[in-house]
Amino acid sequence: MLETFAQVAKAATASSTWAGLTGFQWAIFGAAIAFVGGGMGSAIGITYVSNVSSGILVEDPDKFGTMLPLLAIPGTQGIYGLITAILVTFFFNLSKISAHTGMLVFFSCLPVAFVCCVSAIFQGLTAASASAMVARRTEELGKAMVLPALVETYAVFSLILTIYLFTRIPK
């Protein structure tokens, strides 16, 4: 597996394109997939928690302020995706990037793309369940926030890993 990867990297280094894409295209592809993954997950996650929250708000519209943090929390993964996409342009000179570096940028973006997508969906489910605590007792918001926040940890780890990998890619 590692050998195959090394061969692929070598081939990419040798040529100006790899699999028909230039370094610039690979880097942009990576940035785009990081944002698409994070954004898609966040949209689904927020939809889940919004479904439950809208039911709670129909019964008690005064709970809007209390529900807002739970509604917003799955949205952070979309922000991580956006940060990753922007960081690609900050870390690398896209006009002069080689196919090899571009491909490495692409692979470095994958942790954010996948982990943020999946964690946002599950965070939405967790936040939807945690809404029951807030529905019954508003003062339990702190405890209710801890549960989806635990899911958030892994999205943060994926962002840290992606940024770390960016720093390790030779410019």
Partner 1 sequence: MEVDPYMTRAMKTFFKVPRYGTACGRVMMKEATLLNWQRVERILESGFDEALGVLLETESGKYLAGAKVAADVENGLMNFLIEEYRFLDEICSGTLVSAFLHLKYDFHNMKVLFKEEITGMAHDEGILLGELGTVDTEEMRLSVSRHRRGYLPALLEESIETIRTGLDKRGNDPQMVDTIADRLFLEARLKLAVLEKSRFLVNFATSALDLANLKVLLRGVALGKERSFYEEAFATGGKIPRHTLMELSSESPERISARLLTTRYGRMLSPVLDVADKRVRLTTLDKQSDEYIMEQCARMSRVAIGPERIVRYILRRENEVVLLRIILMGKLHGLTPEAIEERIAVICGSRSY
Nearer CB in complex with partner 1: 2/146: 146
Q: How far is the CB of 58 from partner 1 (least distance, A)?
A: 6
Sign of the four-CA dihedral 26, 28, 32, 34? positive
Nearer to partner 1, 87 or 133 (CB): 133
- Report whether 142 contacts 63 (CB < 8 A): no
Q: Using the minimum distance from each CB to partner 1, give the nearer residue, 121 or 145.
A: 121
Give strand ranges (E) for 5-161. 17-18, 21-22
Minimum CB distance to partner 1 smaller for 53 or for 162: 53
Identify the bridge partners of residue 21 per DSSP, sorted by sequence position: 18
Distance in Å, CB of 115 to partner 1, minimum: 17
Q: Contact 92/10 with Cβ under 8 angstroms?
A: no
Name 163's Cβ contacts closer than 8 Å, sequence gap at least 6: 84, 87
Q: Name the minimum Å distance from CB 35 to partner 1.
A: 22
Site for partner 1, rule CB under 8 A = 47-48, 50-60, 121, 124-125, 128-129, 131-132, 135-136
